[in-house]
Amino acid sequence: MNLNEEVEILKGVPLFGKVEPAKLKLIAFTGERMNYAAGQELFHQGDVGDAMYVILAGSADVLLETPNGQIRVAELKKNSFVGDIAILSDVPRTATIKAREPLTTLKISKDMFYRLVAEFPQMAIEMMRELAHRLEDTNQKLRDATATKAA
């Protein structure tokens, strides 16, 4: 996969949707492309977070460590990104991410992420939008849960 193909994929990632193609190329160029075999972990719950990942191909499981063992809570597909919480809020990884099939990611280190956000405010806005969506999603789930409990 060369740079231009990666840029094409990045164009489909909502986070980078509004970033102009030339800048996407910079992100692709400075980001590290990482390949994982099925079963390999991107990171483990509790690790110190140093990078976020954009999934370029393949899929991965989001796993939570609970007292009753690992439970799968979500699946990541092409174009989603993961690992942003740990680098934004300096908390340990909140979940384990494990490749479900051969996986290709673009790894963006914490330093670089902040530099990119500083250079391209558009990215920060996209990020906020995504986080707001997730929050709304969680709120919705919470409402559903309380409603179910009350019922």
Partner 1 sequence: MHRSLFSYIWRHSRSEQLVILSLVVVAQVFYFLSLTVPKSIVNNGISGNAFKEAAEIRILAFDIPLPDFLGGHVWHVFDGIRVDQLQYLVVMSFVFLAAVIVNSQFKRIINTQKGRMGERMLRRMRYELYDRILRFPQAHFRKVKQAELATMIKDEVEPLGGFIGDAFVQPMFLGGQALTAIAFIMMQNLMLSAVVIVLLAVQMVIIPRLRRPVLALGRQRQLTARLLAGRIAETADGVNEIHVHGTANYERADISERLGHIFKIRFDLYNKKFVAKFWNNILSQATPFAIYLMGGYFAIEGHMSVGAVVGVLLAYKDLPSPIKELIDWDQQRQDVQIKYEQVIDQFQPEGMMPEKLQALPDGPPPPLGHEIVLTGVTVSDDGRVKQLDGVTLSIPTDSRMAVIGTASSGKDVLGQVLARLTLPTSGSIKIDGQDFFEIPESVLGARTAYVGQETYLFPLSVRDNLLFGLKQRPTTPAPYDDATRAAREIFWREAERAGNPVLDPNADWIDYKLAGATGPADLLPHIVETLKQVEFDEEIYSFGLRGVIDGNRRPDLAEKILAARKALHGRLQDPAYAGLVEQFDPDRYNKNLSVAENLLFGTPVGRGFDGDTLAADPYVQSVLKDAGLDQDLLRMGLSIAETMVELFSGLSPDNPLFEQYSFISADELPNVRLLLQRLGGKGVQAVPEADRLRLMTLPLRYIEARHRLGLIDAAMEERLLAARRAFAAHLPDALRGAVEFYDFEHYNSAATVQDNVLFGRLVYGQAQAETRVVTLISEVLAELGLRDSVIEVGLEYNVGVAGKRLPATQRQKLGIARALIKRPQFLVVNEAVAVFDGRTQDRIRDNILTAANEGRGVMWIANRPNQAESFDHVVVMQAGKVVARGTPAELQAKGGLYCELMQSA
- Which of 11, 115, 134, 141 contacts partner 1 by CB under 8 A? 115
Q: Which residue has the tokens 């997730």?
A: 134
User: Does 6 sit near partner 1 (CB under 8 A)?
Assistant: yes
Q: How many CB atoms are closer than 10 A to CB 103?
A: 24
Tally of CA atoms within 13 A in the half-sphere of 25 that contains its CB: 6
Number of residues that bind partner 1 (CB under 8 A): 24
What whole-number distance in Å separates Cα of residue 151 and Cα of residue 141?
Answer: 15
Applying CB under 8 A, which of residues 112, 122, 129, 130 lies at the interface with partner 1? 112
User: Cβ 94 to partner 1, closest distance in Å?
Assistant: 20
Instruction: Give the contact letters, 72-111, x = binds to partner 1 (CB under 8 A), - = no.
Output: ---------------------------------------x
Cα 53 to Cα 106: distance, rounded to the nearest angstrom: 6
